[in-house]
Amino acid sequence: MQKQTGSFDFILDTISADHDLNAYINLLRRDGNLTLYDSSITFFTVMV
């Protein structure tokens, strides 16, 4: 995934299991959009 760093404008995340969002954030370009869709209520930590 390191080769793809900064190459996405938009990521739609529909994974309901625990996973590292920071890995996906690094894939976004500047001003990119990470949209989360999850039917459960969960809390998570994002390092920016």
Q: What is the pLDDT of residues 21-40, one digit of tens each?
A: 888 999 999 999 999 887 67
For residue 8, the model assigns a pLDDT of 96
Q: pLDDT tens digits for 10-24?
A: 999 998 888 888 889
Q: Which residues are registered as beta bridge partners of 8?
A: 28
Q: Where are the domains of the chain?
A: 2-36
41 — pLDDT class (breaks 50, 70, 90): low
For residue 26, the model assigns a pLDDT of 92
28 secondary structure, DSSP code: E
What contacts 20, CB < 8 A, 6 or more positions away? Answer: none
For residue 7, the model assigns a pLDDT of 94
In angstroms, rounded to a whole number, what is the distance separating the alpha carbons of residues 2 and 45? 21
pLDDT surpasses 80 at 46:
no
Query: Which residue matches tokens 């995934």?
Result: 1
